[in-house]
Amino acid sequence: MVSNMKLQDKVAIVTGAGRGIGRAIAKNFASEGAKVVINYSKSEKESQSLAQEIKNDGGTALVVKADVSKPNDVKELVKKTMDEFGRVDILVNNAGVLIPARFLDSTEEMWDMTIDVNLKGSYLCSKEVATIMLDQKKGKIINISSVCGLVQKTALGNTPYVASKAGVIGLTRSLAVNLGPTINVNAIAPGVIDTDMVSFFTPERMNVIVDETPVKRIGKPEEIAAAALFLASDESDYITGEVITVSGGRGMR
């Protein structure tokens, strides 16, 4: 039988996969035939639960703890993936932090943590898998940025987060040039998505966000996962260095 699964037998590492957008991406990839490496830093219980869920549905999952901001952790993450599966076809740099603070209220510690996880983590993970993908003659890297990184009015008050997500877009475009034509590197810029990361929004703030959004609601993690699936599949082989905005129209330029 010919499988219609878009990621049949592909190996995908999804960082920060225990919760939110990462969890939705890992589940979607597994349902499309991928062997999924569920990376987490703190969400062990959620990650193990996700792995069991995937296995119960007939899929394959490996759980690996690693702080993506630490080079040795990243090396171990990729090593465990290679030891288990022998290849890496897809990397989703999803792990991220958001510490609510305007510029004058932010601290150097907040800045360092945000840049280290959101931007440095994407750099380290991409560098670690790049040589593997180049040897395989194909690979897909997908970076999760944000509409905040597109220099729009959306949440520009959160300086460290905005800077990190703008950096992810710059990193995406640079990697697309440096790793082409073998590896496709693209980014997704979500709008406000229904995850723990936006739980600090007041009801009043959320009402404003919904009012500013043409589709009049916030997004679902599964809607980001759908975009990630497209970029991970062969259907996107002629797309690289691009940013797909999934925001319900909020923040259009």
Active-site amino acid positions:
161
Q: Is 178 helix (H, G, I), strand (E, B) or coil?
A: helix
From 78, 123, 116, select the one nearest 97 (Cα to Cα): 116
| Cβ-Cβ contacts under 8 Å for 183 (sequence gap 6 or more) | 130, 133, 134, 138, 139, 140, 141, 175
Compute the distance between CA of residue 160 and CA of residue 126 in angstroms, rounded to an integer. 21
From 179, 232, 222, 234, select the one nearest 13 (Cα to Cα): 232
Compute the distance between CA of residue 89 and CA of residue 217 in angstroms, rounded to an integer. 34
Compute the distance between CA of residue 104 and CA of residue 157 in angstroms, rounded to an integer. 10
Is residue 143 within 8 A of residue 117, CB to CB? The reply is no
From 196, 165, 184, select the one nearest 236 (Cα to Cα): 184
The alpha helices in the chain, defined as continuous H runs, are 20-31, 44-56, 71-85, 108-115, 121-136, 159-179, 203-212, 221-232
